[in-house]
A and B are shown apart, each in its own frame.
Chain A
Amino acid sequence: MRGMTTHLNFRLGAGILFLILLTALVSFFWSPTFLSEHHLIDRFLKPSLAHPFGCDEDGYDLLVLVFYGARVSLFVSLSTVFFSAVFGIMIGGVAGYFGGRLDELFIFISDVFLSFPSILLVIALAAFQHEPTVWGVIFILSVVGWVGYARVVRGQVLSMKKKEFIQSAEISGIRFGRLLWHHLLPNMAGPLLVQATFGMAGVILVESTLSFLGLGVPVDVPSWGRLLDQGVQYLLIAPHISVFSGLAMMLAILGFNLLGDGLRDMLDVRSGGKYS
């Protein structure tokens, strides 16, 4: 029973994400022509054959915008997860391996970070952002996001430090960087992968929340959060804007959560993440 649902979750999640990835890729070929081509007369057009998702406040085709939003969301979340993981691996690895004062300092800092919900910290940081940019959002999300990865890595390093294969590597006089990269990291790929998968879902949600609040990506970048913000403003005359952009975002979040569930059961990992 457990094995079956595991594979079901994994497959369902992978299927959903494949579709979303496809729409993001399609947007590379499709949107440039469509984004320049918009007619104000199509403003708030209801869904039809010509515009399956309808049109937005400027007469842009919503389907194109939602596809483009997938690209933005995936780009932001992949970059954030990448940077968070890299910093988390380095900091968590050092803290776990060298221990002592360094480790105490790390525990204190991560406690301070974890004592507040990530979204509140993100909003606080974004409030003081001068000019919103995509990289600015990625930076803010990574500043808050690395802690979860660092905790996972620290725990894994602590449990591996005394193992024989690490000790024999140490005896051969290996440098720490090489040890971390070649010996420690491959042995914690599972938990990190699970953390990153749930992290993707979390980052997509937080990024959309920021954009919805008007603190995220710049105005001229179509993202799901921005579309939803617009949809709420015009809820009475154009409900399709919020319905379709929200649906896309929820599918993406659901997809990563299902994939994470499946991976966790298949790799037999127990972990909780900062964003999950």
Chain B
Amino acid sequence: MIYLLRRLLFMLPILYCVSTLVFFLIHTIPGNPVDLILGEQALAGDKEILRRQLNLDHPIWQQQFYYIDNLMQGDWGRSLFTRRPVLSMIAERYPATLQLASAAMMMAFIIAFPLGLLAALKKNSLWDFGSMMGALLGISMPHFWLGPLLVLLFSIQLDWFPVSGRDLPGSIVLPALTLGTAMAALLSRMFRASLLDVLKEDYLKSARAKGLREGVVILKHGVRNALNPVVSIIGLQIGTLLAGAIVTEKIFSWPGIGLLLLDSIYRRDYPVVQGCLLVIAMSYVIVNVLTDFIYKKLDPRVQLG
């Protein structure tokens, strides 16, 4: 528990760095934010009021202080486009991204587990070779190519799943598959390698020697231990998953935070862009802390600290 608290505290400087980076990036944009919001023809008085509202009349280090202060108080600014609070726009979109990412992760496990198991148990067989070639292909295949190919096959040729959107039942399947495949490929390779290591261990011999059935030996003693390194790689993969979610949401018009980020970039709606970037960065850091925790639960020998 203390460890968790400490990790969460350690997140603060990282998030501070991220928000500072975003703050200064916004200040590198050529042109005046006031002109950007009101248009260059706006009245001088209006401009002055907005200037004061945005704290632009203070030196830059003070502006950054106000900026962080507002962030902490939950005031993330308003969209230049819809005039709505950024935080509520993000809150609306966030569940869709969470749903997509978890579905993709589940999909990755469902694919990777049998593939890795098969490849490890039948090492150097055609099964092994086939599934590992498949994995190599899955790693090399970018999301934004896999997605269209899946749509061509499953939506257009076979008409099993919808092409895009989030409203129809089954519309999550193709986005999740698109996002999950690269992870599945990586996980199956990892799982195969770690299972092969575990299968050589003496405790498997003793499990067999005490008369356990082979299935129990493999599943309870082999797989259980082989999963540990696989879980630790998931934490590292979350970032790839989040970035992939941005691409996947664009392909399938999935109304998540990635699509919101892209739309806001196109509209130059900087308050929303900055909010989305911060939320994505925060999710990444939090999930990383959580995977550390799960890792410890799986393997009590691991000392965190």
A→B interface (CB under 8 Å): 112, 115-117, 119-120, 123-125, 127-128, 130, 205, 208-209, 212-215, 225, 228-229, 231-232, 235-236, 239, 242-243, 246-247, 249-250, 253-254, 257
Contacts and interface: CB of A to CB of B under 8 A. Distances in A.
22 contacts: A117-B239, A117-B240, A120-B239, A120-B243, A120-B284, A123-B243, A124-B25, A125-B25, A127-B261, A127-B273, A128-B29, A130-B29, A130-B30, A208-B144, A209-B144, A209-B243, A209-B247, A213-B246, A213-B250, A213-B262, A225-B144, A232-B148
B17 interface: yes
* Nearest 10 CB-CB pairings of A with B: A117-B239, A246-B145, A119-B243, A242-B148, A128-B25, A212-B144, A127-B265, A254-B140, A124-B277, A239-B152
B281 interface: yes
Contacts of B17: 112
B271 interface: no
Given A229-B144, A246-B148, 4 more contacts: A124-B277, A127-B273, A239-B156, A246-B149
Nearest to B281: A116
B243 A232 contact: no
Contacts of A243: 148-149, 152
Contacts of A213: 246-247, 250, 262
Contact of A242 (B14, B145, B242, B277): B145
Interface string B201-244: 00000000000000000000000000000000000000110110
Contacts of A239: 148, 152, 156
Most buried by A among B148, B250, B261, B262: B148
A79 B51 CA distance: 41
B280 interface: yes
Name A's interface SS. helix
Contacts of B277: 124, 127
Name B's interface SS. helix
Contacts of B147: 232
Contacts of B22: 124
A116 B247 CA distance: 17
A236 B159 CA distance: 12
A235 B281 CA distance: 32
A235 B149 CA distance: 9
Most buried by A among B144, B156, B250, B281: B144
B291 to A, nearest CB: 14
B28 interface: yes
B152 A235 contact: yes
A231 B14 CA distance: 38
A225 B21 CA distance: 27
B140 A253 contact: yes
A120 B247 contact: no
B142 interface: yes
Contacts of B262: 213-214
Contacts of B198: none
A117 B243 CA distance: 8
A239 B147 CA distance: 12
Nearest to A211: B144
Contacts of A119: 239-240, 243
